[in-house]
Structure 1
Amino acid sequence: MPGYPLQAFNFSVSITPDGDAAPLCDAAFAECDGLEMSLDVKTIREGGNNGVQIKLAGATSYGQLTLKRGMTKGFDLWRWFERVAHDPRVRATGEIVLRAADRDTDEAVFVLGRCVPLKIKAPSLNAREGIVAVEEMQLGYESLSLRGAEGVGSRV
């Protein structure tokens, strides 16, 4: 469906620890927030020219991804959190895939490099529910890139 805007409600999340062949998590989450980056901009004034400012791009900083109300088939996210708690060098690659309206076509993929879990929270326990869920998970990441449907990777 070329020409249609990207839809923010149709996405999937996968997390693959470094060195693993398959994702430990290919989960469905109701919310995903924190795909962001910002530049620390330095302002320089030229001597004798008070009407002009020069803006120089400085260091890039990245956001903190928050995933809410997720459903998975197991406890792999919890095990990964425990693994990182025992060995802080463990990292993973995260992918947030935006899907087209047909739910089969990948429109774009946000790739998060060197992810580390910051927080994991269980849902309220309720005997009427029969699913394994994650109420909230927060991830820190060290890089962010965007891969479009055309397969061309670009640094965001």
Structure 2
Amino acid sequence: MANKANETVMPPFTTFNFLVELNVAGRSSPLCSAAFAECSGLEMSMELKTIREGGNNTQPIHLQGKLSYGQLALKRGMTTTFDLWTWFEDVLQRKGDWWNVSAQVVMLGSNREPVATFVLTGCRPVQLRAPALNAKEGQIAIEEMTIAYETLRLEQ
């Protein structure tokens, strides 16, 4: 007889299989087509406010405080265009409609189907670093890009 609990067990999510897409509101094509070897900074932190109740010396009361988000760090990227550099410059010069950029980090399952999507809104470039130029090594096009974001949510 089959065990029903084992029928719903899913394989674990792996972190090496992901996609990153940057989109500008109102445009059908993504901001750029780049592939990155590493992606980190998908985080939310909630500040807690602790209140001590008079007469209750053993248990503090925690209230919800401000919410803050991390910064998305994309490392060792490859692209055939200069769109990320253009985006950085345009935001710096306040040109164009580059202000309403969202990002999606899609985790893929072992069958290459999406299993979870992190959606980031209000994205702004913070840092863009090129690799060291060395003729002896075959370095990649983008060493690191850091993006600040206003909100983060998980879509399953």
TM-score of Structure 1 vs Structure 2, range by shorter chain: 0.7 to 0.9
Q: CA deviation at 1:91?
A: 3.3
Q: Name 1:153's counterpart in structure 2.
A: none
- 1:111 aligns to 2:111 (yes or no): no
TM-score w.r.t. the length of structure 1 is 0.86
Cα distance 1:45–1:126, how it changes in 2: closer, same or farther (>3 A)?
same
Does the 8 Å CA contact 1:66/1:139 hold for their aligned counterparts? yes
For 1:142 and 1:107, locate their aligned partners in 2 and report how far apart those are by CA, in whole Å.
23
How much identity, in percent, do the aligned residues show? 50
Higher strand share: 1
In angstroms, what is the RMSD of aligned CA positions?
2.1
For 1:2 and 1:24, locate their aligned partners in 2 and report how far apart those are by CA, in whole Å.
37
**Structure 2: runs of 5+ lacking an equivalent:** 1-7
Q: Which one has a bigger Cα radius of gyration?
A: 2
1:25-77: CA deviation from partner (whole Å, max 9, x where unpaired): 23211111111010000001111211121111111000011110001121111
Q: Name 1:86's counterpart in structure 2.
A: 93
For 2:134 and 2:25, locate their aligned partners in 1 and report how far apart those are by CA, in whole Å.
35
Name the SS for the 1:81 alignment partner.
Answer: helix
Q: Name 2:26's counterpart in structure 1.
A: 19
Q: Name 1:59's counterpart in structure 2.
A: 66
TM-score w.r.t. the length of structure 2 is 0.86
Q: CA deviation at 1:2?
A: 6.1
Q: How many residues align?
A: 147
1:46 corresponds, among 32, 53, 58, to 53
Q: Name 1:140's counterpart in structure 2.
A: 148
Q: CA deviation at 1:126?
A: 4.0
- 1:124-139 residue pairs with structure 2 within 5 A? 124-127=132-135, 133-139=141-147
Q: Name 1:151's counterpart in structure 2.
A: none
**Structure 1: runs of 5+ lacking an equivalent:** 149-156
Amino acid at match of 2:41: G
For 2:13 and 2:128, locate their aligned partners in 1 and report how far apart those are by CA, in whole Å.
29
Does the 8 Å CA contact 2:24/2:30 hold for their aligned counterparts? yes
Q: Single out whichever of 87-96 and 35-44 deviates more from structure 2.
A: 87-96
